[in-house]
């Protein structure tokens, strides 16, 4: 996941070259690349040059381990005893793969305010292809994916964009909600969108109250500054990217209502909540409204 988080936004291959130090470029030895243990033994510093290794690497590795255990305990051990081994393995691989992809998407969006198509589209295709593993039909998965995308694209990108002059959400958010619909159906996509909105709003409010403003991620500022320098130097492609990218201009204000805040991490979190607690969520909803989904 750390390789994906670092390389995908930079349009680098996740397979080649092998892992190397981000500071001096030296090849990282296998014994220095063991999840969690290597970071702890090295005390968060590279063996080759002593450069500090971000604690994000440790956090991502710990999250991956916890998700693997949760997938085993919550999703695999609860399968009926007569479940064939092949089907059980397929369930674990699909759900674990989705979880890791969501974690990678959350960290990428938090740093770059960008959700890769390889994750959103790839996850949607995987969700449709594995619908029967979750007891859903292909039609239900396709309808959920379509409604998930349209449910964000139409009100928050098209209509909001025309009224306010700028979209309220990005296309990546619509694609990630499409992924949710492919995996959890239309009702699941609705939960993911609502839960993400609530959790994201609370987090944004807390940040605003503590810091007094919500600032863009530093990587977004650096990317924009680099494009601006290239455009000023006569690079037509950089100028076009700046003109077309909603992040190509400085934020209009630092107020809470106009702040740019990555929504992808909260969509990913809500997807994980849906994956591991779907039955409890739907049961709680039914008890709350006394209706049926």
Q: How far is CA 212 from CA 18, 127, 221, 249, in A?
A: 42, 40, 19, 22
pLDDT in tens, 213-235: 888 888 888 888 888 888 889 88
For residue 293, the model assigns a pLDDT of 45
pLDDT in tens, 110-119: 999 999 999 9
Q: What average pLDDT is seen over the chain?
A: 90
Enter the pTM of the model: 0.90
Mean of pLDDT values over 45-51: 91
217 by DSSP, 3-state: which?
A: coil
Q: What angle do CA 61, 66, 72 make, to 5 degrees?
A: 130
Q: Provide the b/e sequence for 111-123 (b: ≥16 CB within 10 Å).
A: bbbbbbeebbeeb
pLDDT in tens, 243-279: 777 777 777 665 566 677 899 999 999 999 999 999 8
pLDDT in tens, 179-188: 999 999 999 9
> Among all chains, which residue has been given the structure tokens 């690079």?
235
Mean of pLDDT values over 57-84: 95
Residue 45 is encoded by which pair of tokens? 């510093």
């Amino acid at each position: 996941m750390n390789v994906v988080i670092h390389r995908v936004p930079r349009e680098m291959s996740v397979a080649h070259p092998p892992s190397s130090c981000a500071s001096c470029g030296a090849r990282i030895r296998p014994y220095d690349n063991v999840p969690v243990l290597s970071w702890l033994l090295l005390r968060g510093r590279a063996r080759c040059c002593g450069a500090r290794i971000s604690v994000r690497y440790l956090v991502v590795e710990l999250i991956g381990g916890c998700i693997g255990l949760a997938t085993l305990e919550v999703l695999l051990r609860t399968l009926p005893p007569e479940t064939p081994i092949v089907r059980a393995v397929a369930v674990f691989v699909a759900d674990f793969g989705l979880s890791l992809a969501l974690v990678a998407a959350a960290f990428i969006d938090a740093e770059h305010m960008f959700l890769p198509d390889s994750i959103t589209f790839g996850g949607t295709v995987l969700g449709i292809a594995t619908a029967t593993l979750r007891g859903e039909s292909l039609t239900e998965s396709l309808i959920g994916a379509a409604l998930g995308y349209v449910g964000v694209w139409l009100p928050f990108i098209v209509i909001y964009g025309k009224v306010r002059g700028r979209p309220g959400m990005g296309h990546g958010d619509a694609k990630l909600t499409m992924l949710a619909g492919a995996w959890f159906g239309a009702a699941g996509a609705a939960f993911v969108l609502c839960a993400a909105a609530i959790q994201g709003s609370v987090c944004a409010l807390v940040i605003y109250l503590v810091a007094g403003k919500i600032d863009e991620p530093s990587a977004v500022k650096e990317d924009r500054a680099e494009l601006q320098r290239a455009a000023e130097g006569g690079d037509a492609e950089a100028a076009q990217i700046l003109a077309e990218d909603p992040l190509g201009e400085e934020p209009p204000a630092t107020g809470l209502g106009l702040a740019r805040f990555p929504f992808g991490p909260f969509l990913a979190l809500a997807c994980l909540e849906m994956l591991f607690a779907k039955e409890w969520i739907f049961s709680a909803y039914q008890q709350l409204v006394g209706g049926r989904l």
